[in-house]
Structure 1
Amino acid sequence: MYEQEEKKLTDFKNRLDEVSIPSDALDDAVMAGFYKAKKKKRPPYKIWLLQCAAAAILIIGFLASVRHSPTFANYISSIPGMEKIVEMIRDDKGLLAAVENEYYQKIGVSQEKNGLKVTIDGVIADEKGMMIFYTVESDNKEVKVTMLDARVKGENGEDLPAVISHGIPEESESNSYEGMVENFFQNEVEGKKFIWDVTLKEKNGFLEEHFQIPFTIPGDLKISKKIDVNQVVEVEGQRILFKTVTIYPTRVEIHTKFDSGNTKKILGLRDLRLVDEHGETWNRSTDIISTKISDDEITYYLQSNYFHEPKKLYIAMNEIEAIDKDEASVVVDIKNKKILKQPKGNVITEVDVNGEYIVFRIKANDFSSSVSFSEIKDADGNVIQSQGIYNRLDTGKGYIQIGEQISGLSEMKGPLIFEIGSFPSYIETNQKTRIK
């Protein structure tokens, strides 16, 4: 669906110099690039300019595709502000397909308190996920607010356990901003009536406002499509079972289980993706979200292909992050600040104890090639909770510092065991498993 559009976009880009683009449209596209660029720490100047240009080309390409799709164009034009919503989700093929198939549902309910107004503009929702698109407005444009918390609750205020993600409000000269909050529920939800529980805080003051906004999803929620896969893949003697694939409009869940007899601890399937018979891919990023069920069982979450009905569908991967099981932990003598055990290669060069922090110095050029820990235990095997983690890159020096905050660290005497959650050790493969 989108691979062909990418080719059209490339052709379109090559013809840009020959096309007369209205100045207003170009200004809007450039501002969209600024809007996207401000979400992250600004990269070097030349790269930043290229990103802005790329964002402008993508927006122009999107507008061009709308002109070629009357249904999509009519749908976009019928809902005010829809272009901004599309810009928020343009990196997610599944959510874009939901909009294209008119599955975005307008809500338009608001609540006001002390000069602040929160509006739920609309949602893309299913049994397991809900994307809430919102607007915050202030009577005073000098008041800048940030979102402390935002969660969906049941009709009667009951908690709905979920993984929640929301961005930081954009700095703006106006007195309003738009955003999106992602909610991925632990269990499938029922019903169409909910409460959005939101807390806003003034950035440079003590003002804090709490909103509880009841809302009703006007249309029916799409039900999931489940594929019982139950296929084992073996790569260099390591066995991986793909149990089920469940496809929701907001995302895809792939339930995997690793053979307990494997000689390696599998830390992650870094570039897991769905591919159809035409080679169209969902989820190209190596930054894949997952939920650990047990040491040998993980659910991975990919972009959704719900609105695409391929004749054939494959699970594909090219890189497995894995480490020998007997090297899957780091043991630290906290009293003497020494590493007693770590994987081959000695990528951890130093360890220090500073108050409640234990700090590791790791050889790595970026965070993706660093080390992280999934669990901390004492010498008796008791799990110790980490109160916080920080990562610091020593730019140009090839080192990263990882600090784990542990309450009462100075009073602990025995060695601590850090179970490895990620490590730069990979098995290369070219695996495709047909599931449809």
Structure 2
Amino acid sequence: MDEGENYTYKDRITYQFSELYTSRNQSFDLKIAIKLKGEETVFSVPFTVPEQIKPSEVYAIYKEVDIKGQKFRVEKVMISPLRLGVKISIDPDNTMKILQFEDMRLEDEKGEVWGSIRNGTTAFGGEDGKYTFFLQSNYFSQPEKLYLRINKVQTLKVEEAFAEVNTETGGWLNQPKDQKIQLLQSNKHHAEFIMKNSGDEEFPFFFIGSAIDANGEEVETPMTGKFREEEATHWNLNFDRTDYVNPLRLELFAYPNYLEGDMKIELK
């Protein structure tokens, strides 16, 4: 930064409780610490959840869906003033691992998008093959008809759905066959990955989920980063410790490999 210049940065934070919040205290303080040139400044933003919150609309569906041989069941859709949740269970016998439902959306009777994913998928679950995916809600608009649409899912063969890397040697021991993402450089503190861009459309996901070392112990990645250049996209991982045992197994959270179909379920 140039001395004497003023800079403005904008970002958006979405915080979601992993479990139902049951406390009677509906007031919160959002605290953010920013460090600049070694000096830390803390901002505190107080807010209170309104007492009168409109109830969610719940649509029970329980419909089996098959996209190119990969099956899942749409169980229910929950529409609240803040967000839209779609609960899905994935068939454990699938030959491919479904990573993301990238174009999941709700459409009205005119075919216009009523609710959709923004900036990648946000979801809870996964341990038992059940997920709840969250979309942006348009709760206060009341169309006559609503349809849940899914036309494209990210998938990989089960045996390719993780990357196994040695951060000390920079070696790949397992990765998707097409090798779209490459390990650029690594050590026990840090790893950087790169993928060549195809067209103008940006891949909005951070593609790695959990990291497990050779002893089966989790290695947390408290700092991650992503930036896009004209020709390539870069991802950075910083590991919270260096006493782990290589190789690391990196579960893939997202990957640009797609199956296309045409799923349309009427909600109302």
Query: TM-score, normalization: structure 1?
Result: 0.52
Q: Name 1:374's counterpart in structure 2.
A: 209
Q: Name 1:197's counterpart in structure 2.
A: 29
Q: Name 2:172's counterpart in structure 1.
A: 339
Question: In 2, distance between residues paired with 1:310 and 1:370?
Answer: 31
Say whether 1:279 aligns with 2:111.
yes
Question: In 2, distance between residues paired with 1:413 and 1:202?
Answer: 33
Q: CA deviation at 1:278?
A: 2.5
**Cα gap change, 1:359 to 1:228, in 2 (>3 Å):** same
Over the aligned positions, Cα root-mean-square deviation in angstroms equals: 3.4
Which residue of 83, 88, 92 corresponds with 1:256? Answer: 88
Deviations 1:52-93 (A, max 9, x none): xxxxxxxxxxxxxxxxxxxxxxxxxxxxxxxxxxxxxxxxxx
**Alpha-carbon contact 1:195-1:212 (below 8 Å) kept:** yes
Q: CA deviation at 1:373?
A: 0.6
Q: CA deviation at 1:202?
A: 8.7
**Alpha-carbon contact 1:362-1:371 (below 8 Å) kept:** no
**Alpha-carbon contact 2:213-2:248 (below 8 Å) kept:** yes
Question: In 2, distance between residues paired with 1:412 and 1:302?
Answer: 37
Q: Name 1:327's counterpart in structure 2.
A: 160
**Alpha-carbon contact 2:116-2:136 (below 8 Å) kept:** no
Q: CA deviation at 1:184?
A: 4.4
**Alpha-carbon contact 1:247-1:304 (below 8 Å) kept:** yes
Deviations 1:3-60 (A, max 9, x none): xxxxxxxxxxxxxxxxxxxxxxxxxxxxxxxxxxxxxxxxxxxxxxxxxxxxxxxxxx
Q: Name 1:386's counterpart in structure 2.
A: 221
AA matched with 2:72: I
Question: In 2, distance between residues paired with 1:339 and 1:301?
Answer: 33
Identical aligned residues as a percent: 24
Say whether 1:266 aligns with 2:101.
no
Question: In 1, distance between residues paired with 2:160 and 2:34?
Answer: 47
**Alpha-carbon contact 2:108-2:147 (below 8 Å) kept:** yes
Q: CA deviation at 1:353?
A: 2.2
SS in 1 for 2:55: coil
**Alpha-carbon contact 1:313-1:434 (below 8 Å) kept:** yes
SS in 2 for 1:352: strand
Which structure is larger by alpha-carbon Rg, 1 or 2?
1
Q: Name 1:237's counterpart in structure 2.
A: 69
Q: Name 2:181's counterpart in structure 1.
A: 348
Q: Name 1:363's counterpart in structure 2.
A: 196
Question: In 1, distance between residues paired with 2:165 and 2:145?
Answer: 50
Question: In 1, distance between residues paired with 2:87 and 2:72?
Answer: 11
| Contiguous gaps of at least 5 residues in structure 1 | 1-143, 148-166, 169-179
Question: In 1, distance between residues paired with 2:22 and 2:205?
Answer: 41
SS in 2 for 1:222: coil
Question: In 1, distance between residues paired with 2:82 and 2:205?
Answer: 30
**Alpha-carbon contact 1:349-1:363 (below 8 Å) kept:** no
**Cα gap change, 1:380 to 1:306, in 2 (>3 Å):** same
Q: CA deviation at 1:342?
A: 0.9
Q: Name 2:140's counterpart in structure 1.
A: 307
Q: CA deviation at 1:313?
A: 2.2
Q: Name 2:255's counterpart in structure 1.
A: 423
- Structure with more contact order per residue of length (Cα contacts < 8 Å, sep ≥ 6): 2
| Contiguous gaps of at least 5 residues in structure 2 | 1-5
**Cα gap change, 1:362 to 1:371, in 2 (>3 Å):** farther
**Alpha-carbon contact 1:232-1:240 (below 8 Å) kept:** yes
Question: In 1, distance between residues paired with 2:13 and 2:211?
Answer: 31
**Cα gap change, 1:272 to 1:384, in 2 (>3 Å):** same
Q: Where in structure 2 are the equivalents of 1:1-150 lying within 5 Å?
A: none
Deviations 1:187-224 (A, max 9, x none): 556799632314477987766465656x583x732111
Question: In 1, distance between residues paired with 2:119 and 2:45?
Answer: 33
AA matched with 1:340: L
**Cα gap change, 1:376 to 1:271, in 2 (>3 Å):** same
Q: Name 1:290's counterpart in structure 2.
A: 122
Question: In 2, distance between residues paired with 1:198 and 1:377?
Answer: 31
Name the structure where helix makes up a greater proportion of residues.
1
Aligned residues: 258
Question: In 1, distance between residues paired with 2:155 and 2:22?
Answer: 38
Q: CA deviation at 1:334?
A: 2.8
SS in 1 for 2:203: helix
